[in-house]
Structure 1
Amino acid sequence: MADLNLFAGEIAGVIFKLIYFGAIIGTITVVILDNRNPVKTMAWILILMFLPLVGLVFYFFFGRSTRRERIISKKTYNRLMKKPIAEYLAQENSSYPQMYARLIELFKETNQALPFEGNRMEIFTEGYAKLQALIQQLYRAKHHIHMEYYIIEDDAVGRLIRDVLIDKAREGVEVRVVYDDVGCWHVPGSFFEEMKNAGIEVRAFLKVRFPLFTSKVNYRNHRKIVVIDGRIGFVGGMNLAERYLRGFAWGEWRDTHIMIEGKAVHGLQTAFLLDWYFVDSTLITSSRYFPRIESCGDSMAQIVTSDPIGPWKEIMQGLVMAISQAQKYFYIQTPYFLPTEPILAALQTAALSGVDVRLMLPAQADNRITHLGSFSYLKDVMSAGVKVYFYRRGFLHSKLMVADDYLATVGSTNVDFRSFEHNFEVNAFVYDTQTALAMKEVFLNDQRKCSQVFLKNWIKRPLKQRAAESVVRLLAPLL
């Protein structure tokens, strides 16, 4: 009997090994056949080969691609776009700025991002001002409020906005809220239930629950969008949480957000309603949500979105073109710098050709791993002539870019693999001298609170630190 049990155990062990190694080999085959970025493919293969059990778990949760899936049919999407297209075509004497005509066309072709003229922009660089302006506009709402955030905390700020939304819902204003399920994972259900009980329509984006815990955890809605009556919109880097106002014990929280008044709000509305269809299976196309708006400023703007589902990487492709077209300067603020190869090459090429390229990062960040990974790329860009600055007053979370006194972009997109390939993101691309100069001044004012990093000193940092950075860099496509 003992021999029989021993034999059965050996058979079971052999079967387990066959299944185990078969799963690893099968997963590696799937990764290769998926035809992804070679850097990302090699990163997954290395993990699966040297840390097979960990690699299988991570691939199941974070690695599977859904880029070939569709959120919405073309016919349904055309119905949603009917009103914005009509407003776009109604613009009189509309002409693109010559230098950015190709960039605008790129966004129109890949993202159906329509360029709208006659917008007014208001820039916020700290949380209190943005929160005050948001509350003022929310209380002025007459018809609807559409709100979408990656993070809505159950703290003083989150509860304040929740109470404002409840007040407006009780007045008869339509209120719809989308929050990311992972971004709000630790928020108690009672927080959102209170809104629902007041008549607010609340939906979680890509809900993740056991035992249906799947790769949905890897595809997060990182957008921050507010649309009020189809006329006022907010977009940028700030979520709804106290830390966006108070910062950390070790420093302030520096961020950038904008309020848009004008026809470009149609782009924010379209982005929100597309996400609403995704979470609620309800298509909202009524003209009430796309009111006729008269010109109220001098800015031309496009609202550009990107996601892990469509065939293109719209924001990344647009940034590559914008960097490549820069003639005098291109300034970037980003909390994380884990660039894809096209972005890295574009920055190096621009700097080598004489463009004043400046990159601003936080000296201290909220995520040590991604911060180490960011450091690993700095020698690459500084060697090409990119000027690098470390923000010393706190955590720089701003996602701002400005070029040649005419182009500026603000939104939710970081310069990293996650934003470009995995997240649902949104940026406003603004073509206007006044706005660009204002954004440039924001950057230069922040630069006064920075220390510049010089290549000759950077290459002398300890071997232990450089080794840690290099290890993290291997995993950069997966972070």
Structure 2
Amino acid sequence: MDAATTVSLSQSIGYGTIIHVALWLLVCLHLLLKPRDARTSLLWIFFTSIFPIIGPFAYVLFGINTVPNKGWQKQYSDTTFQKRQRLTNRNTHPLAAMHTRRNALRATLDDRMLAPFNRILDHLSGNHPLLGGNDIQLLEPAGLALEAMFLALREARHHIHLSTYIFNDDAVGQRLMNLLVEKARAGVEVRVLYDAFGSAGANIRLFFWRHRREPNLKIIGFSQANVLKRKFQLNLRNHRKILVIDGVVAYTGGINFHDVYLSR
């Protein structure tokens, strides 16, 4: 080969290749340090090797499971808070009335199968024991459940706590928002947590932003994708669908606030 056309190995490898190999090695190292299913690991190794930059970026967004770490952090935070709460309650007892009512309603299980399970739950969540005096009703179809929730919202007197995956700005969503705004203006404390991805359409159309100054109404979008806070988990979503009114009535299940849940 002519000397003029000879290209050395160092000249043939550009900065892009070096960056790609470095990022790929970092992904492989992280996979080795965080064991998981072998097929998943091999898939990520293959994907990041053939897609420069995009592959490692996708791994950061979708491949890193932060749930266990966040679970431990929350458990530590809850334990610390409960210790401080117990120390405070020794002197002031601000929750004495609530504890008295809760203990009065505490249920005991005589069933051989359920009693051990209840003891385990008491150990895991000592502040939330099994209580009696509750009634559970199955609501179906979805339209009936939505109407029941709207009716209960109209009867709210003190507070409304809502967590949902989809809060759309269609007819159902507009009806819900109008009710929440009406109750907030009447003095009811309203707190709403929607998923920023599931409700992205309404969020982009400024549906929630338009109500940001309503008194007694606080609406927050849940998201684990925030570069400024070093959060990159796009696939970590809040699928909880819970509505609690005055601490007396609660609704939960698989229904979002969207027109598609109405019967056609």
Cα distance in 2 for partners of 1:214, 1:87 equals: 41
Preserved contact between residue 85 and residue 114 of structure 1 (Cα < 8 Å): no
Distance 1:123 1:75, change over 3 A: same
Answer whether contact 2:160 2:243 (CA < 8 A) is retained: yes
Unaligned runs of 5+ in 2: 90-94
Letter matched to residue 232 of structure 1: V
Compared with structure 1, are the counterparts of its residues 19 and 227 closer, same or farther at alpha carbon in structure 2 (3 Å cutoff)?
same
Percentage of pairs with the same residue: 26
Mapping 1:1-150, distance limit 5 Å: 11=11, 13-35=13-35, 38-39=36-37, 41-50=38-47, 52=49, 53=51, 55-66=55-66, 67-69=68-70, 70-71=73-74, 72-77=77-82, 87-91=101-105, 94-95=108-109, 97-111=111-125, 114-150=129-165
The answer to whether the Cα contact below 8 Å between 2:107 and 2:130 also exists between their aligned partners in 1 is: no
Q: CA deviation at 1:167?
A: 0.7
Distance 1:239 1:171 in 2: 25
C-alpha change, 1:165 and 1:19, in structure 2 (3 Å) is same
For residues 114-136 of structure 1, what are the alpha-carbon distances to aligned partners after superposition, in whole Å with 9 as ceiling and x for unaligned? Answer: 32222111111212111111111
Going from structure 1 to structure 2, the CA distance change for 1:237 and 1:80 (only over 3 Å counts) comes to farther
Distance 1:45 1:86 in 2: 56
CA displacement 1:329-369 (0-9 Å, x = unmatched): xxxxxxxxxxxxxxxxxxxxxxxxxxxxxxxxxxxxxxxxx
For 2:235 and 2:82, the matched residues in 1 are separated by 25
Q: Work out the number of aligned pairs and report it.
A: 241
Cα RMSD, aligned residues only: 3.2
AA of the residue aligned to 2:23:
A
1:154 pairs with 2:169? yes
Out of 248, 254, 261, the position equivalent to 1:237 is 254
Query: Aligned residue for 2:206?
Result: 190
Q: Any idea what the Cα deviations from partners look like across 1:52-71, whole Å, max 9, x if unmatched?
A: 32542321111223222324
- Describe the superposition over 1:37-89 as per-residue Cα deviations: whole angstroms up to 9, x where unpaired: x42x5313323225532542321111223222324342225678995766543
**Residues in 2 aligned to 1:17 and 1:56: alpha-carbon distance in whole angstroms:** 13
Write the distance in 1 (CA, Å) between the matches of 2:173 and 2:8: 59
How far 1:11 sits from its partner (Å)? 4.2
The AA in structure 1 aligned to 2:200 is W
Closer/same/farther in 2, CA of residues 55 and 45 from structure 1, 3 Å limit: farther
In the alignment, is the contact (CA less than 8 A) between 1:145 and 1:227 conserved in 2?
Answer: yes
Query: How far apart, in 1, do the equivalents of 2:180 and 2:62 lie?
Result: 34
Based on CA coordinates, which of the two structures has the bigger radius of gyration? 2
- Gap change, CA 1:196 and 1:59, over 3 Å in 2: same
Deviation per residue, 1:224-249 (Å, 9 max, x gap):
111111111111110110111136xx
The alpha-carbon distance between structure 1 residues 119 and 45, as it changes in their structure 2 partners (threshold 3 A), is: same
Selected match of 2:189 from 139, 163, 174 = 174
Q: 1:189 to 1:108 in 2, by over 3 A?
A: farther
- Following superposition, the deviation at residue 186 of structure 1 comes to 1.8
- Alignment counterpart, residue 204 of structure 1, candidates 221, 241, 255: 221
**Greater strand share, structure number:** 1
Deviations 1:374-400 (A, max 9, x none): xxxxxxxxxxxxxxxxxxxxxxxxxxx
Query: How big is the shift at 1:26?
Result: 2.0
Question: Which residue identity is paired with 1:135?
Answer: F
SS of the aligned residue for 1:122 comes to coil
Q: Secondary structure at the match of 1:46?
A: helix
Q: CA, structure 1 residues 216+92, in 2 after alignment: closer, same or farther (shift >3 Å)?
A: closer
**Maintained 8 Å contact 1:127/1:238:** yes
CA distance 1:94–1:8, shift in 2 (3 Å): same
Q: C-alpha distance in 1, partners of 2:69/2:105?
A: 35
Superposed, 1:51-450 pairs within 5 Å as 52=49, 53=51, 55-66=55-66, 67-69=68-70, 70-71=73-74, 72-77=77-82, 87-91=101-105, 94-95=108-109, 97-111=111-125, 114-187=129-202, 188-199=204-215, 200-206=217-223, 208=225, 214-246=231-263
- The aligned amino acid for 2:43 is L
